[in-house]
Amino acid sequence: MNLKSLSKKITIVDSNSSIDASIRLLSDNSKKVSYPGFCAVINQKNHLVGVITDGDIRRAYVKGVNFNNAVSEIMTTSPVTINANQLKHNLKSLVDFKIAQSNHISKSVRLVPVIDEQNIPIDIIDFLNSDTFDANKKNVAVFGLGYVGITLAASLANIGHKVSGIDTNEEVIALLNNGKTHVHEPGLVEMIRHNIKAKNLNIDSNLSLDNQIYIVAVGTPLDRNNKPNLSFLNEVLSTIVKRLKPGDHVMLRSTVPVGVTRKFVVPFLENETKLSAGIDFFVSFAPERTIEGDAMRELRSLPQIIGGFSEKCCDHGIKFWSTLTASVVKVSSLEAAELVKLANNTFRDISFAFANELALLGSKYNVDSFDLIQQANEGYPRNKIPLPSPGVGGYCLTKDPVLFSCDINGSRDDAVLGLASRKINQMAGEYPIQILKRFSNIISKNLSEMKILIIGVAFKGVPDTNDTRGSTSLDVFRSLKGKVSSIYGWDAVIQQELLQSLGFEKYTDIGKVINNVDAILILNNNPKNIISSIYDISHKDRRVLIFDGWHQFDRLDIERNKNLIYSTMGYLSDSIH
């Protein structure tokens, strides 16, 4: 097809045409073209420069735009398009990927122009009336509706799969079925509500549909001895084997020690069903790598890793995941896929551990590690050092380096870095308590008499989340509980009721708390947690410690206030030495 043929499907106007002339042409073509409400805008070289829909015209009218102006004023200048050389790809996934890259998480498009190598429009694809992609839609069971499971379940349902979200927590099930969510994730609530209403998403404690895809997204916690606990995985597998049939696919999303899928999962499934993996049913490992707070976008835009029990398993898995994302990376084996997630998170933990050990070393010389690292990185083209922090928390980074360092039985002699990084980052998490003890000696006041405010209780601040699993703030809270007079908590993302349920003191006015405590420990980097009134704390009879764990406050402005003592990673105000 060419531009002339395309003019029989849609209206095409010149970018120099007025809005009024374009509307008149759209009206004249209403019965002549296949898609009367869609207009492609081209320049003198016939290059596609934008598109207009009926909606653009309505919005222009509401805004009072002068219809004598050029049509380029109201057109969409960066429309979703498909290159002619991409027509052999999974077009639905490709288009969804482009939408995700544009941050339009839950938005879809119907008409997508096809352009040639010169950016000349040559065809139009109608995604509403095409049945090309429906054959890829499956009945999918997602086990475990924590951060990983619920975001994935909602995203798969949103592209047309029939998804059963399974969890054993009845409170979570009731919450989700009422159109609410237990996790803080932009766009998630709306997506859940829409897909429950559309009957693409069912939340329950038991399976009801006959599924072709089983995705395991339950956690692999560490036991008291720092060994991997596979009991949740075992429980899910025990449910799956009751329904597993030839042609089905079992996919692991859970993070596990290398070898678990081949040595534990496959034998269990085969022994219980008398079916053969790779022949009767498929097995693959597809690690989750999204970041909390941006998961809905990253699920559509991040490359999906896939490793299979066999080549056939891998290919079958690629076909499924291609319905969600346009980029799927095939790795050589189940073990390679298991290692990818562990490698990503362990590397992050190790890099943070270096920064934190540098801060702990700098503390001996009262060196502000943030200033030091900024100066070391300034203009230096290699090996940028990350910033330190009062510990490294979260469900993944506190666990995955340990899983990286152990085998299926929970022990390895040849892996040391993961365990070393965990030790260093745990020491960094204890640093605020060391500073508090030094502060206690400086002002000659016992810890037992002190009132403490912890700001930032979620395990991280950017993107923000309400997840407190693996929170170093809670580690500090537990270490101080019973050793100080009282501990208050505040987090812009976490409701006060939840903080009280965690053990923090009850209060009604954060301003009064700030002016009544002896020390304020700022332990995550959410910019919403910055309370400017801290600069103005004023007491005649005592000084207040401000531990700025992420260097978010202006140190000099804090130190100008004679009532305040400033500290961050590696540094405590010189004025008190």
Distance between CA atoms of residues 455 and 451, nearest Å:
13
Give yes or no: residues 472 and 571 share one domain.
yes
Give yes or no: residues 55 and 173 share one domain.
no
Q: What is the pLDDT of residue 93?
A: 60
Per DSSP, 76 falls in state: B
Order of strands, edge to edge, in the sheet holding 201-204? 201-204, 162-166, 139-143, 213-216, 249-252, 282-285, 304-308, 328-330
Give yes or no: residues 66 and 33 share one domain.
yes
> Which residues touch 56 (CB under 8 Å, ≥6 apart)?
74, 75, 76
Report how far apart, in Å, the C-alpha atoms of 274 and of each of 58, 266, 326, 352 are.
Answer: 62, 11, 35, 46
Q: Is residue 150 assigned to a domain?
A: yes
Give yes or no: residues 155 and 229 share one domain.
yes
Give yes or no: residues 189 and 114 share one domain.
no
Q: What is the pLDDT of residue 78?
A: 85
Q: What is the pLDDT of residue 132?
A: 43
- Of 102-111, 180-189, 363-372, the one with minimum mean pLDDT is 102-111
Distance between CA atoms of residues 37 and 11, nearest Å:
8
**Whether pLDDT at 214 is above 50:** yes
Q: What is the pLDDT of residue 90?
A: 58
Asked if residue 162 lies in contact with residue 200, where contact means CB atoms within 8 angstroms, the answer is: yes
pTM of the full predicted structure? 0.77
Q: Is residue 220 assigned to a domain?
A: yes
Q: What is the pLDDT of residue 92?
A: 64
Write out the two tokens for 288: 């989750």
Distance between CA atoms of residues 103 and 525, nearest Å:
23
Q: What is the pLDDT of residue 405?
A: 92
Q: Which residues constitute the domain of residue 282?
A: 137-332
**Whether pLDDT at 103 is above 60:** no
Q: Which helix (H) or strand (E) holds 301?
A: helix 295-301
Give yes or no: residues 179 and 143 share one domain.
yes
Once rounded to an integer, what is the mean pLDDT over residues 129-149?
A: 78
Distance between CA atoms of residues 81 and 109, nearest Å:
10
Give yes or no: residues 59 and 193 share one domain.
no
Once rounded to an integer, what is the mean pLDDT over residues 231-237?
A: 97
Q: Is residue 270 assigned to a domain?
A: yes
Q: Is residue 121 assigned to a domain?
A: yes
**Whether pLDDT at 33 is above 70:** yes
Q: What is the pLDDT of residue 125?
A: 86
pLDDT band at 96 (very low <50, low <70, confident <90, very high): low
What pLDDT digit, counting tens, does each position of 506-555 carry? 999 999 999 999 999 999 999 999 999 999 998 878 899 999 999 999 99
Give yes or no: residues 144 and 97 share one domain.
no
Give yes or no: residues 242 and 262 share one domain.
yes
Q: Is residue 97 assigned to a domain?
A: yes
CB atoms within 10 A of CB 67: 17
Give yes or no: residues 457 and 548 share one domain.
yes
Is pLDDT larger for residue 259 or for residue 101?
259
CATH number at residue 207: 3.40.50.720
Helix axes 147-158, 188-197, angle to 10 degrees: 50
Once rounded to an integer, what is the mean pLDDT over residues 11-36?
A: 91
Residues in the chain: 577
From 332, 364, 397, give the residue that closes a domain.
332
Q: What is the pLDDT of residue 128?
A: 57
Q: What is the pLDDT of residue 198?
A: 92
What pLDDT digit, counting tens, does each position of 39-87 carry? 999 999 999 999 998 888 888 888 889 999 999 999 988 888 888 887 7
Q: Is residue 373 assigned to a domain?
A: no
Q: What is the pLDDT of residue 106?
A: 41
Q: What is the pLDDT of residue 61?
A: 86
The string over 12-39, giving b where at least 16 C-beta atoms fall within 10 Å of a residue's C-beta and e elsewhere, is bbbbebbbebbbebbeebeeebeebbbb
CATH number at residue 38: 3.10.580.10
Q: What is the pLDDT of residue 133?
A: 44
What pLDDT digit, counting tens, does each position of 316-374 carry? 999 999 989 989 999 999 999 999 999 999 999 999 999 999 999 999 999 999 999 99
Q: What is the pLDDT of residue 343?
A: 96
Is pLDDT larger for residue 302 or for residue 2?
302
- Of 63-67, 164-168, 284-288, 508-512, the one with minimum mean pLDDT is 63-67
Q: What is the pLDDT of residue 104?
A: 47
From 74, 94, 126, give the residue that closes a domain.
126
Once rounded to an integer, what is the mean pLDDT over residues 99-120?
A: 72
State the total domains in the chain: 3
Give yes or no: residues 429 and 561 share one domain.
yes
Once rounded to an integer, what is the mean pLDDT over residues 298-314?
A: 95
**Whether pLDDT at 131 is above 50:** no
Write out the two tokens for 502: 């965690």
Q: Is residue 45 assigned to a domain?
A: yes
Once rounded to an integer, what is the mean pLDDT over residues 409-426?
A: 89
Average pLDDT of the residues of the chain: 91
**Whether pLDDT at 253 is above 90:** yes
- Of 146-155, 193-202, 409-418, the one with minimum mean pLDDT is 409-418
Asked if residue 316 lies in contact with residue 249, where contact means CB atoms within 8 angstroms, the answer is: yes
Q: What is the pLDDT of residue 471?
A: 97
From 101, 126, 151, give the residue that closes a domain.
126
> Which residues touch 229 (CB under 8 Å, ≥6 apart)?
220, 221, 222, 223
Q: Is residue 54 assigned to a domain?
A: yes
Give yes or no: residues 62 and 188 share one domain.
no
